Amino acid sequence: MSFSVVLGLFSLSLFASGCAKVTYPQESVVQALKDIAAKEYGIRNIEVEFVGTTMGVYLPLDQLFSLDFKEAIMSGKVTDMENLFKPTDAAIDKVEDLLFSMSRVMLSTDKKIDFYFLQATDIEKSGMELSFLGNIEDVKRVRYWDIPRSEYRKRVIHDIRLNQAALWHRPVRRFFNDLNTAGRDVIQARYFPKTTADKWSREFFFADPRGNMTPTGQARWDILDLRSIPLQDNNIIVYVKVRSSPKVPGASAFRPETKEYLFQVSTRGAEEKIQRIIPFAYLDARPQGLDPSFTRETVYRSLPNWETEFKTPNIRMGDFLSRQLTRRLQTMLTENERIGNTFLSVKLSFGYEEKPNPYFIFDAIMPLRSPVAKPYTPEQGIHEDIIYLWTLAAREFAEVLRSYDFKDYQYLELRINRVGETTAWIAKREDLELFRRNKKSLEKILVARRN
């Protein structure tokens, strides 16, 4: 079962979710989603945030895909990319359960939500992530049979990519997990082989109030924030904020507190490895081997720009439509025999510019197979196969925007890119409607753009 099937399962589940009344008031939406995921599906480690009118949800997983990427690629036995990117059954179940939970909340809240974004990331094995971006109105429309499920699936933007920060953070997660579960001897061997226990045991609560070392840790560690910044020579600095509290509730050995650390992580070799752990309090002493610019003040000031595992995009409708149209047309062209026979390759994208006046851009790098063919000359005009490709793009563009009733644009700009030169034509919004209704051909409505 591939991740595309998850979209089908999600659209089916929509018919049983949501209601007209406000079940989840806007002030309790985040906690409501966490409670549903935890109590009904046993998913307890999600993050939920809002950026603009986009609801973002982060689902960290121990394993996302069935195959081990490194092992599969090194073996040379990978012949089917679909199998390489085949999610595990457990991952599919969690993604489906969380999408269903999100739909319940989104359809029954008074909080303004225009878009949803779900990111499922393999934080333990591959660092790969699978994301889904969709529009709440599409959820409502498929639920009420206004659009078919096949069309809904085209409207959800799904991507697979490598989450580099998740790999950088992996050894730090393991360190705090080991503090929670492993004994002192294991911690000593894994992380402090050249450091005596008395130099680290107090810091990580492997000692009693009198300073006597204990065989197990006295604290429970919960990670509150993880961020990283790459330096040079495969060297990463990871910032972590954690909360330490007594493992035994009510124990008076120490009070819960928030602590901060910098980890030096090396990316040399098969896996990332912790080279050094620096408590924030030590930054004032300018520890040797660390860039002198890493003071407490500079770290705090720069942290918003450090890499995180999860960041909800601030989506607007023009940008969402551009992403969707790019994906739609990419799919269409891979199945088009004429395009394959005419062009060596096609790299395309739609874009949306809001200022000073809103308009869409269709940009494509599309070298013709014939060495003598010219994409455009003033004497012969635009090559007929480029017109054919543009017609496909403009048709899909006009149909999709009409379906969304999106009118906040003045024209569509179509570009021909050549070495050191870009030539562009525009099709105005009112003319594109005539084109959509087959009243005019694309060639009849194109006007050369003046710089």
Lowest-confidence region among 81-85, 159-163, 390-394: 81-85
CA–CA distance, 298 with 67 (Å, rounded to integer)? 41
Average model confidence (pLDDT) across the chain: 89
Percent of the chain with pLDDT over 70: 88
Does the pLDDT value for residue 125 go beyond 50? yes
Which two three-digit tokens encode residue 389? Answer: 């490709």
- Name the residue with higher pLDDT: 343 or 68: 343
Of the candidates 236, 243, 241, the one whose C-alpha atom is nearest the C-alpha of residue 226 is 241
Q: Which residues pair with 416 in a beta bridge?
A: 423
Give residue 1's pLDDT: 44
| Cα–Cα distance list, 124 to 128, 171, 172, 237, 361 (Å) | 10, 9, 11, 19, 39
325-342 pLDDT tens trace: 999 999 999 999 999 999
Does the pLDDT value for residue 137 go beyond 80? yes
Of the candidates 177, 185, 261, 276, the one whose C-alpha atom is nearest the C-alpha of residue 225 is 261
Which two three-digit tokens encode residue 106? Answer: 């989104």
288-312 pLDDT tens trace: 666 667 788 889 999 999 999 999 9
Burial (CB count <10 Å: 0-12, 13-18, 19+), residue 357: exposed
1-50 pLDDT tens trace: 454 555 554 555 554 455 557 789 999 999 999 999 999 999 999 999 99
Give residue 86's pLDDT: 81
Lowest-confidence region among 167-181, 186-200, 244-258, 340-354: 244-258
Does the pLDDT value for residue 79 go beyond 80? no
Percent of the chain with pLDDT over 90: 71
| Cα–Cα distance list, 389 to 135, 383, 427 (Å) | 28, 10, 15
Give residue 291's pLDDT: 65
Is 144:335 a contact under the CB 8 Å cutoff?
Answer: no
Mean pLDDT of 152-170: 94
**pTM score, two decimals?**
0.88
Give residue 181's pLDDT: 95
Which two three-digit tokens encode residue 189? Answer: 């061997």
211-234 pLDDT tens trace: 889 999 999 999 999 999 998 778
Give residue 111's pLDDT: 95
